[in-house]
Amino acid sequence: MAGGEGTRLRPLTSLRPKPMVPIVNHPVMEHIVGLCHWHGLDQIVATLQFMPQVIRDYFGDGEEWGVSIEYAIEDKPMGTAGSVKNAQSLIGDEPFIVISGDSLTDVDLKEVIAFHKSKGGTATIVLKHVPDPLEFGVVITDSDGRIERFLEKPTWGQVFSDTINTGIYVLEPGIFDFIVPDEVVDFSADVFPAALAKGEQLYGHVIDGYWEDVGTLDAYLRAHHDILDGLVTVEIDGFRMRENVWLGEGADVDPDAQVDGPAIIGPNCRIEPGAHVGEHSVLGGDVVVKHDAHVVRSVVHEHTYIGSSARVSGAVVGRACDLRSNSTIEPGAVLGNECFVGEQAVITSDVKVYPFKSVDAGAVITSSIVWETKGARTLFGRRGAAGIANVDITAEVATRLAQAYGTSLKKGAVVTTSRDTSRAARALKRS
């Protein structure tokens, strides 16, 4: 299932589909392809919808990963079951597994298949206990594992189980009888309830392995931390050094630099003297960290430059960004690809900067930059708004400038104005 757009992951998904977002320097879908290959599943069909060519160009026919990959492309979103129905001709008449290409998991697929065969049902749904089930579909089963009830994304008042649907299914081809063709159809909301109503046997299998829906920016960072903490098994490039530090091929870490594990330094990175790469940090390939810069608990994508004495903490920095000296990226901030941040500029917590944006030197960015071309140090340019009173700068212009300025302020903010003793200045201040 690789048709996701990943709107909640923007700006990381502004220029690519969700399955291509990198997790420890590989697209998340690549980890799923590797998982399938590891468990002997070498015939893969990828259902695509959003930016399908990006995925096809990267994976091709799958030979590089030891699998065979075919593609089923949708003109419009068809829902989880509708997209599988669209691929029916490629799937054939054998039992098959459905798995998300944009989730991170190391579930034992052989164990799930064995459970499915032992029960002989139409479908087996892989379940997981989670502390907060509100964002997922809740499933309740009897003592034999037979599913009794579904509830999609409940409220707390509706929660009757902490066992959620991971979106991993083992299905018999008979399930296609319950999927209406050429319509938007969902497994949990439409297909499985209809199959239950017809007396089909559906089973749930609770897994102990790791599973994370990498659907939000918080989950994206958390997935990296979990990998570094050894909570999930995935392939990491490079060789493992002391304190769980992975060093990629060609990486150059100066002896006077400090790297605290767990951390991943990608291939051909350069860490200069006095630089500090802290715990739970992941650097993509060709990243440069200049002297006295600090990167802690952050994910930095490939080809990014981090200037001297810059600070990146708890943030995500996209591909080919340029962070100049003494700039600061605060926790929760996210930069899209090819952003420029000037000297001593500050990107404050939870701000999103979309791709190809520039931030002036010394600017303090407190709100997300989505449509603008740049983040400026002052709202009306370096010299403000200047001109001859009552000719260039009229009362009407002053009022409009104030309205524009007001849109950048938080509710309840206080504004202080000053003026000289001239009558024109008094009129403009009142405006």
pLDDT digits (tens, 9 = 90+) for 367-388: 899 877 777 666 666 667 888 8
Residue 318 has pLDDT above 90, yes or no: yes
The whole-number pLDDT of residue 381 equals 62
Average pLDDT over residues 120-133: 79
The whole-number pLDDT of residue 387 equals 80
Residues 430 and 331: their CA atoms lie apart, in Å, by 40
The whole-number pLDDT of residue 135 equals 54
Residue 139 has pLDDT above 90, yes or no: no
Whole-prediction pTM value?
0.79
DSSP symbol at 187: I
Task: Please report, rounded to a whole number, the percentage of residues in the chain having pLDDT higher than 70.
Answer: 92
The whole-number pLDDT of residue 131 equals 59
pLDDT digits (tens, 9 = 90+) for 194-238: 888 888 888 988 888 898 888 889 999 999 999 999 899 898 888
pLDDT digits (tens, 9 = 90+) for 49-95: 999 999 999 999 999 999 999 999 988 888 899 999 999 999 988 99
Edge-to-edge, what's the strand order for the sheet holding 281-283?
239-240, 245-247, 263-265, 281-283, 299-300, 316-317, 334-335, 352-353
The answer to whether residues 309 and 327 touch, using CB atoms and an 8 Å cutoff, is no
Name the token pair of 148.
Answer: 């009794």
Average pLDDT over residues 108-126: 91
Residue 31 has pLDDT above 70, yes or no: yes
Average pLDDT over residues 97-108: 92
Name the token pair of 179.
Answer: 């999927």
Q: Higher-confidence residue: 399 or 405?
A: 399
Q: Higher-confidence residue: 276 or 134?
A: 276
Edge-to-edge, what's the strand order for the sheet holding 294-296?
258-259, 276-277, 294-296, 311-313, 328-329, 346-347, 364-365
Residue 282's nearest CA partner among 264, 258, 257 is 264
| Helix or strand holding residue 34 (H, E) | helix 28-38
The whole-number pLDDT of residue 115 equals 92
CB atoms within 10 A of CB 107: 22
Give the pLDDT band of residue 158 (cuts 50, 70, 90): very low
CB atoms within 10 A of CB 202: 25
The whole-number pLDDT of residue 241 equals 85
Give the pLDDT band of residue 396 (cuts 50, 70, 90): very high
Give the pLDDT band of residue 132 (cuts 50, 70, 90): low
The whole-number pLDDT of residue 154 equals 45
Average predicted confidence (pLDDT) for the chain: 88
The whole-number pLDDT of residue 151 equals 63
Residue 268 has pLDDT above 60, yes or no: yes
Min mean pLDDT across 111-115, 333-337, 378-382, 406-410 is at: 378-382
Average pLDDT over residues 280-288: 95
